[in-house]
């Protein structure tokens, strides 16, 4: 373990002041990702700024009918919050599909957004990794890449973003509230995480001196027709190979509004608004869902060990949309769809 300083922030402004004063400092919230990374020598902050006592732990209704979730609301509290369970069950399902009960008790909303990839080479400091050490190379390209990305990859990095929560937030059009030395701003969740391009060391568009203060959900929660479907190697306590957050608004069998986001397939939650637009006005049936899957995956590219994800993603998209259309979010597609 490396030596580091520890300080406790006594307010959001104090946290921002402290991080702006020390570029190699890091915030610590639940610590469930950062401490592991420090133990593995992947992250070497000179100072930990403890934000876990900041007053960012409430879930409040907004004037326009949505919710504002403080960055320090624990994942468990959020998933079981009555307003989330009732109005945004897609988000509750996604959170509960992640990690374990103990981890979800510790993990914060802000920390979940900023958790880092689970690429094996990122954690193994004996191997080259452009994300950990820019310019050193990407060991996954010609190495073991079963869990890696099939969409939006670059020659520098093919890692995936591991969060479940963020996939649901992408589908729900969430906004991230942040504060920094020059004030506050909001970032759409879909613009928060980045594709790797030539700078895979940057996971997000958050600046190093900014803090996430809240996540805002718009009023539309898709509580009737939704599914979070996560496919993984074990039934629990495993990251997604492919996951899909699907949400529909139906008028009879006609799709009025469709939202789809994929996890486990890209460096960020993958949303294709063109494919969503193509679903609007269509009848909710297997033909339309298969067409949507083909559209989303048109540019997917597999590597030596993960090409199976392309077909898997196609089937998961169709099944998730089918379950959402039937209003049976946890079903194994027991009803026949035409």
Binding site for ligand SF4 (CB under 6 A): 117, 119, 121-122, 129-131, 138-140, 157-159, 200
Binding region for ligand FAD (CB under 6 A) out of 95-103, 196-204, 217-225, 241-249: 95-103
Q: Which option in ligand FAD, ligand SF4, none does residue 293 bind, with CB closer than 5 to 8 A by kind?
A: none
Q: Which option in ligand SF4, ligand FAD, none does residue 98 bind, with CB closer than 5 to 8 A by kind?
A: ligand FAD
Cα 86 to Cα 112: distance, rounded to the nearest angstrom: 22
Nearest by Cα to 70 from 33, 10, 113, 115: 113
Q: Which option in ligand FAD, ligand SF4, none does residue 90 bind, with CB closer than 5 to 8 A by kind?
A: none
The smaller minimum CB distance to ligand FAD, of residues 71 and 150, is found at 71
Q: Which option in ligand SF4, ligand FAD, none does residue 190 bind, with CB closer than 5 to 8 A by kind?
A: none
What is the pattern of x (binds ligand FAD, CB under 6 A) and - over residues 5-44? Answer: ---------------------xxxxxxxxx-x--------
112 part of the interface to ligand FAD, by CB under 6 A: yes
Token pair of 233 as six digits: 């190697």
Cα 54 to Cα 221: distance, rounded to the nearest angstrom: 28
Q: Which option in ligand SF4, ligand FAD, none does residue 76 bind, with CB closer than 5 to 8 A by kind?
A: none
Interacting residue with ligand FAD among 67, 107, 149, 313 (CB under 6 A)? 107
Token pair of 138 as six digits: 């990407």
Q: How far is the CB of 277 from ligand FAD (least distance, A)?
A: 28
Cα 52 to Cα 54: distance, rounded to the nearest angstrom: 6
Place of tokens 């509750």: 92
264 part of the interface to ligand FAD, by CB under 6 A: no
Q: Which option in ligand SF4, ligand FAD, none does residue 121 bind, with CB closer than 5 to 8 A by kind?
A: ligand SF4
Cα 164 to Cα 118: distance, rounded to the nearest angstrom: 13
Helices 286-296 and 308-326 meet at what angle, rounded to 10?
140
The smaller minimum CB distance to ligand FAD, of residues 34 and 261, is found at 34
Q: Which option in ligand FAD, ligand SF4, none does residue 119 bind, with CB closer than 5 to 8 A by kind?
A: ligand SF4
204 part of the interface to ligand FAD, by CB under 6 A: no
The smaller minimum CB distance to ligand SF4, of residues 198 and 236, is found at 198
Q: What is the DSSP letter of 305?
A: T
The smaller minimum CB distance to ligand SF4, of residues 121 and 270, is found at 121
The smaller minimum CB distance to ligand SF4, of residues 54 and 138, is found at 138
CA distances from 5 to 18, 41, 52, 78, 323 (A): 12, 16, 16, 31, 50
Q: How far is the CB of 113 from ligand SF4 (least distance, A)?
A: 18
The smaller minimum CB distance to ligand FAD, of residues 52 and 156, is found at 52
Q: Which option in ligand FAD, ligand SF4, none does residue 288 bind, with CB closer than 5 to 8 A by kind?
A: none
Q: Are 7 and 90 in contact (CB under 8 A)?
A: no
The smaller minimum CB distance to ligand SF4, of residues 137 and 218, is found at 137
Cα 148 to Cα 133: distance, rounded to the nearest angstrom: 18
| DSSP string over 308-334 | HHHHHHHHHHHHHHHHHHHT-TT--S-
CA distances from 66 to 81, 113, 212 (A): 14, 19, 18
Interacting residue with ligand FAD among 165, 174, 229, 245 (CB under 6 A)? 165
Please name the residue ranges forming H helices in the chain.
Answer: 12-21, 34-39, 75-80, 82-87, 89-96, 101-106, 109-113, 120-123, 165-171, 189-192, 273-279, 286-296, 308-326
The smaller minimum CB distance to ligand FAD, of residues 152 and 264, is found at 264
């Amino acid at each position: 373990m490396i030596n580091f300083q520890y300080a406790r922030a006594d307010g959001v402004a104090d946290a921002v002041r402290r991080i702006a004063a020390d570029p190699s400092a890091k915030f610590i919230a639940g610590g469930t990702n950062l401490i592991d990374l420090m133990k593995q020598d992947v992250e070497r902050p000179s100072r930990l700024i403890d934000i876990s006592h900041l007053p960012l732990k409430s879930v409040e209704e907004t004037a326009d009918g949505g919710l504002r979730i403080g960055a320090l609301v624990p994942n468990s509290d959020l998933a079981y919050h009555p307003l989330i369970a009732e109005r945004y069950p897609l988000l509750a399902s996604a959170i509960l599909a992640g990690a374990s009960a103990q981890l979800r008790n510790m993990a914060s909303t802000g920390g979940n957004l900023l958790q880092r990839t689970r690429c094996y080479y990122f954690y193994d400091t004996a191997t080259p990794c452009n994300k950990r050490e820019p310019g050193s190379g990407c060991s996954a390209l010609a190495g073991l890449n079963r869990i890696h990305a099939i969409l939006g990859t670059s020659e520098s990095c093919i890692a995936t973003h591991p969060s479940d929560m963020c996939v649901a937030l992408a589908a729900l059009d969430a906004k991230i509230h942040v504060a920094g030395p020059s004030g506050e701003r909001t970032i759409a969740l879909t613009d928060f995480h980045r594709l790797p391009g030539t700078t895979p060391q940057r996971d997000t568009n958050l600046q190093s001196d900014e803090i996430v203060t809240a996540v805002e959900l718009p009023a539309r929660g898709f509580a009737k027709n939704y599914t979070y479907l996560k496919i993984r190697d074990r039934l629990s306590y495993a990251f997604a190979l492919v996951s899909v957050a699907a949400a529909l608004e139906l008028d009879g069998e006609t799709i009025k509004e469709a939202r789809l986001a994929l996890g486990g397939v890209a460096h960020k939650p993958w949303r294709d608004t063109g494919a969503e637009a193509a679903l609007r006005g269509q009848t909710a049936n297997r033909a339309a869902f298969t067409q949507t899957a083909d559209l989303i995956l048109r540019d997917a590219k597999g590597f030596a060990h993960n090409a199976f994800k392309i077909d898997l993603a196609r089937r998961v998209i169709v099944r998730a949309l089918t379950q959402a259309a039937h209003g049976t979010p946890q079903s194994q597609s027991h009803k026949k769809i035409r």
